[in-house]
Amino acid sequence: MIIAIDFDGTIVKDQFPAIGEMVEGAKEAINQLKKDGYYIIIWTCRSHVRLLEAIEWLAKQGIHYDKINESCPANVEKYSGIDTRKIYADIYIDDKMLVKLPTWDEIYWIVRDLLPSYADKVARDGFL
């Protein structure tokens, strides 16, 4: 399954345009979800130089993901090769959600309880 994760305010404390401190547990939870077979898209309003700064920061921190601000290639293909501005995901993790953002430990277990992994879904259904 595909998870879109916001950057500012979710992975890091929101101090835009600067990159804030990492939110406690973010790296461990994101890397474990990736290891568990989820397809991870970092979803951010950052662009140009600010996006490059975020990409470099994620690399230095050792946070693993599949794409940043791009949909999964299988979904682009599914929609006639058009990569729309809206990122397709099965779940979105964002500090601007309706309720307070849970801790990253809680987020990990919510995802594991709600969604089979991307690898499990592909193995079962053969598609997204």
- Condensed to tens digits (0 to 9), the pLDDT of residues 15-61 reads 999 999 999 999 999 999 999 989 999 999 999 999 999 999 999 99
User: With respect to CATH, is domain 2-118 assigned 3.30.70.890?
Assistant: no
Domain extents for the chain? Answer: 2-118
The residues facing 6 across adjacent strands are: 43
Concatenating the DSSP letter of every residue in 28-89 gives HHHHHHHHTT-EEEEE-S--HHHHHHHHHHHHHHT---SEESS--HHHHHHTTT---SSPP-
Instruction: Look up residue 97 and give its DSSP letter.
Output: S
The mean pLDDT value for 80-92 works out to 77
Gap between the Cα atoms of 121 and 128, Å rounded: 7
What's the distance, CA 87 to chain centroid? Answer: 10
**pTM of the entire structure?**
0.82
